[in-house]
Amino acid sequence: MIEASVQEFVRSGIERVYPGKCEEIFPFASKIESDGIGILAIHDHEEEHLAFAAGTLSGVTFSSDLVRDLGMLNSNVVVGAYVLSEGQPGHWSITYAVKLRYTWVAEATASAQMIVDALSAVPVFVQRGIEILSPKYGGEPWGIPGGWWLALMDRF
Can you give the pLDDT of all 156 residues of the chain as single tens digits?
455 555 666 677 778 888 999 898 887 888 999 889 999 988 777 777 888 999 999 999 999 999 999 999 999 888 899 999 998 888 899 999 998 877 777 666 677 778 888 888 999 999 999 999 999 999 999 988 778 888 888 776
pLDDT at residue number 1: 46
Q: What CATH number did the domain enclosing 127 receive?
A: 3.30.1460.10
> pTM for the full model?
0.86
35 with 17: CB under 8 angstroms? no
β-strands 92-101, 81-86: how paired? antiparallel
Among 43, 33, 40, smallest CA distance to 151 is for 40
The total number of structural domains in the chain stands at: 1
Range of the domain at 94: 4-153
In whole angstroms, what is the distance from residue 104 CA to residue 90 CA?
36
CA distances from 8 to 3, 5, 33, 66 (A): 9, 5, 21, 40
Report yes or no: 40 and 52 within 8 Å, Cβ to Cβ.
yes
**Cα 104 → chain centroid:** 18
The predicted structure's pLDDT at residue 145: 77
Q: What kind and span of H or E run contains 75? A: none
